[in-house]
Amino acid sequence: MTSNRAFKTALYEQLARVSRAMASAPRLELLDLLAQGPKTVDRLAEASGQSRANASQHLQVLRRARLVERSKEGLHVTYRLAGAEVAASQRALRQLAEARLTEIDRLMRDYLSDRGQLEEVSGEEVAERLQRGDVVLLDVRPRDEFDHDHLPGAVSIPLSELSARMAELPDDREIVAYCRGPYCVMAVEAVALLRAEGRKAARLADGVQDWSARGHQQAQVGATP
């Protein structure tokens, strides 16, 4: 018969498998990227600024901890989160760190203040204004991430296309840009581009996962017209 101590030691060792897999800044970023939808190793490496070899090694660690899954088509290996609870645990870790580490707030404030973008709009305000029709919600992530899921009523214009497609956005309403979540810089850059063109623009820090977790209308899967 297994003793109480052996049982608890074995149990906590299994919990530690997950924490050890997540105890890496590059791996946490990979999980954030995969929360936006499945991606190939090459896409993950490019988006996270890693070499393909390093990204692949980190993904193997996450896979051994059963946090991600993979499939292979020809030469391409695609990774995805193993379940919604993985994204939820990532979000809980971020919230814990933000509550306990003042360094995170300082980093965010310094980064945003350098770009004149300390202010942001809340998800509650955006939801209300979408109902009134006096705001345009702009998703500046890559199109495949928008197609995987996006906020209700959002318009997709990837950041790389924004300058060329500015005329597609109405000029009589404020534009609220969002991307992958509070640590994603694409929305910050989008707001800077919009303001440089004389548009009224603001940033929504929430990503798709944050929006749903706050109890707003569920994000939509698939592209909108």
Catalytic residues: 179
Among candidate residues 123, 86, 131, 127, the one with its CA nearest the CA of residue 211: 123
Look-up of token digits 């109480």: 4
* DSSP notation for 169-221: S-SSSEEEEE-SSTT--HHHHHHHHHHHTT--EEEB---HHHHHHTTPSPPBP
Convert 152-190 to b/e letters by CB count within 10 Å (16 or more is b): ebbbbbbbeebeeebeebeeeeebbbbbbbbbbebbbbb
Q: CB-hemisphere CA count at 13 Å for 68? A: 31
Residue where the block lists tokens 């660690």: 61
Residue 59: which H helix or E strand, with range? Answer: helix 52-64
